[in-house]
Chain A
Amino acid sequence: MIARAKSKWPYLVATPLLVFLILIPFDWFLGQYTSLMIFIGIHTMVTVGLCLLLGYTGQVSLGQAAFYGTGAYISAILSKTYGVDPWLAMAIAATATGAFAYVIGYPIFRLKGNYLAMATLGLGIIMYILFNQLGQFTGGPDGMSGIPYLSVGGFAFDTAFKRYFLVWFFCLAVLLVSQNIVRSRAGRALRAIHGSEAAAESIGVNVDQFKVKILVLSAVYASLAGSLFAHHMTHVSPSSFDFIASVKVVVMAVIGGLASVWGAIFGAASTRILSDELLLTFGEWDIVAYGAILMLVMIFLPQGLFVGLKNLFQQLRLRYQRRGAEA
């Protein structure tokens, strides 16, 4: 929104961050966190999709885990049960999930606000029931294991170290694509829809089509993340894709600052660190923490934690500069 494209800031921040990201999985650096970082990457991909949908377009989805799970299960079933190449399985999963989102998109976006939220929540639960009940395909509540790793030629991604780079390659690609969308004509259209659908329509934005397109995009992101999850864990079970999984994505988006692409990393990272490192031994306390975060952030910083803090920081800096100019 603010014209800062020419600024050197992004490079000054991005270069050390990238070096840091590349160094993390080495044992002499932060190797013990490789697995955590893989999950952060996977969840960032799901979260970016929701940020585009919720933060930029203003459309609620409480069922992103449905797309995430569909991607994971299609990949798992095709590659394990039918011996399809994992890459092809991943591509088929993304296409199928995207097509599914397209088909449900038009009817579901006839709903708004509360009704849309409840419909997507219901959809998530239906998929969760299907993952559990279609036992002959999905292995039922126990799930399925022995899913093959992804591999290129003879090079298999069979260690966490290798998969770290694979996942973050996809994650950064998704982030860059999303950033381009947000900064393009389409991104402005999305923000227009968020502001006022009637106004957006009046200046020639095809509101329904844009909403569906973003839903499809977020579904494809979630599906890719699900496939990476399946080929990383080599095991999938329905419990990873329940209602709480969908709420977790909302928590990540809310922490990340809803309308912020790069905030998604921040949201995914803080949520995963909170639940995997800090609250691991505390049973249900992690959902208590999620609930508290959702309420507190939405009450005090409704634009999301990351963006909210960034705005606060900018206000402080402006005030400081103004004082400097007066002196």
Chain B
Amino acid sequence: MSADQFVQYLVTGLYQGSIYALVALGFTIIYAVTKIINFAQGEFVMLGGMISFILLDSVGIPMYCSIPLSILISTAIGAFLYTLAIRPARRASVVSLIIITIGAAIFIRGIVGELWGVDNERPPYFTGQESIAFLGAYIHPQALWIIGTTILVTIMLYLFFSHTMVGKALKACAISPVAAGLVGINARTMALIAFALAAAVGAIGGVVTAPLTFTSYQAGLMLGLKGFVAASIGGFKSQVAAVIGGFTLGIVENLAVGVDWGPFTSSYKDAIGIIVLLLILLIRSGRLAAEESIS
């Protein structure tokens, strides 16, 4: 691997890691407030990409409308997911909630596949496709959009959680639901907001990445899994750690593929992410078990 190639893999890893970071943010938002791992989190990324493509391609709405509209629709679906499937099962066990969110994931996936087909789709780039030279590597303009959006979303979320009333209420719920209830914060409303917010963050990720990475009705599974890897690096606690985790995973995957030896080829790329997950989980298993038994 030459220095130029190294930078290229680094850059590719950075924009692919961005999407993992956005999925991971969604996981942490929901987990912090509700202690639920939403196994349908990857589906929101798929929904964002697919809906923006359908609105552009089939409905014929211009891009500056289709993008916010697709994020809005996905957010509404996130809110529906909570209202229709999670809230009725409030006292359910962890296992029940896993099965419910898995059910939601394949439900969404099946409907998208049925309505809009099972092919890979690619919405147009936001701006041009002339790659920009950078330290011997080439960056696609869309990759800059992806990385920029991720950083922007992370900053906005930080400001939201630290400077707005709703954000602080969410944070309070995450720290102590009982104490939050005592000062008049409605836990159900907060959970609803968390699901909608996580769906919106996922959909934003889907909208910006779909032009470069393609999307299809079954893209949600792997994105969800990779996002989970990124979030587990920070133990589902810290949003900053989730974002760093996402970037790290993207870079590790691409560098590993760059080695291009034995199992380190592009066909095993997804497996590398999963092995990273298993390693993290096993290394942290003692602490994770302790956290689980407290909650």
Contacts and interface: CB of A to CB of B under 8 A. Distances in A.
Interface stretch (A31-39, A90-98, A281-289): A281-289
A126 B271 contact: yes
A302 B217 CA distance: 29
B103 A294 contact: yes
Nearest to A133: B267
Q: How large is the interface on B (under 10, 10 to 19, 20 to 34, 35 or more residues)?
A: 35 or more
Interface string B263-277: 000011011001101
A117 B39 contact: yes
Interface string A64-99: 000000000000000000000000000000000000
Interface in A224-260: 243-244, 247, 250, 254
Interface in B88-109: 88-89, 92-100, 102-109
B113 interface: yes
User: SS class of chain B's interface: helix, strand, loop or mixed?
Assistant: helix
Contact of B100 (A110, A113, A283, A295): A295
A291 B289 contact: no
Contacts of A117: 37, 39, 98
A284 B110 contact: yes
B175 interface: no
A247 B106 contact: yes
B82 to A, nearest CB: 12
A103 interface: no
A243 B105 CA distance: 12
B271 A302 contact: no
A125 B270 contact: yes
B92 A298 contact: yes
B130 interface: no
Interface in A94-132: 107, 110-115, 117-119, 121-123, 125-126, 129-130, 132
Contacts, number: 142
A132 B217 CA distance: 20
Instruction: Count chain A CB atoms within 10 A of each CB in B37, B89, B228, B281 and give the residue with the most.
Output: B281
Contacts of B288: 111-112, 115
A292 interface: yes
Given A129-B268, A284-B217, A121 B225 contact: yes
Interface string B245-257: 0000000000000
A316 to B, nearest CB: 23
A221 interface: no
Given A112-B292, A125-B270, A291-B108, A118 B225 contact: yes
A288 B111 contact: yes
Given A287-B110, A291-B104, A295-B104, A129 B271 contact: yes
A10 B89 CA distance: 34
Contacts of B108: 291
Given A111-B289, A302-B93, A292 B107 contact: yes
Nearest to B38: A114
B95 A58 contact: yes
A98 B274 CA distance: 22
A241 B114 CA distance: 22
Contacts of B65: none
B114 A247 contact: no
Contacts of A291: 103-110
A298 B96 contact: yes
A122 B105 contact: no
A54 interface: yes
B232 interface: yes
Instruction: Count chain A CB atoms within 10 A of each CB in B99, B232, B274 and give the residue with the most.
Output: B99
A294 B104 CA distance: 8
A122 B103 contact: no
A250 B94 CA distance: 15
Contacts of B152: none
B114 A125 contact: no
A122 B99 contact: no
A299 interface: yes
Interface string B158-183: 00000000000000000000000000
Interface string A50-65: 0000100010101000
Instruction: Count chain B CB atoms within 10 A of each CB in A113, A295, A300 and give the residue with the most.
Output: A295
Contacts of A273: none
A119 B281 contact: yes
A109 to B, nearest CB: 9
Contacts of B196: none
A295 B85 contact: yes
Contact of B102 (A58, A62, A125, A288): A62
B103 A107 contact: no
Instruction: Count chain B CB atoms within 10 A of each CB in A62, A243, A294 and give the residue with the most.
Output: A294
Contact of A298 (B103, B105, B222, B278): B103
B102 A126 contact: no
Given A111-B288, A115-B288, A292 B103 contact: yes
Contact of B99 (A118, A282, A285, A294): A294
B283 to A, nearest CB: 10
B100 A294 contact: yes
Contacts of B110: 284-291
19 contacts: A54-B95, A111-B282, A111-B285, A111-B289, A113-B292, A114-B37, A114-B94, A115-B285, A117-B37, A125-B270, A129-B267, A283-B114, A284-B217, A285-B110, A287-B113, A290-B103, A291-B104, A294-B102, A298-B96
Given A107-B285, A122-B277, A287-B106, 4 more contacts: A54-B95, A115-B288, A122-B278, A288-B110
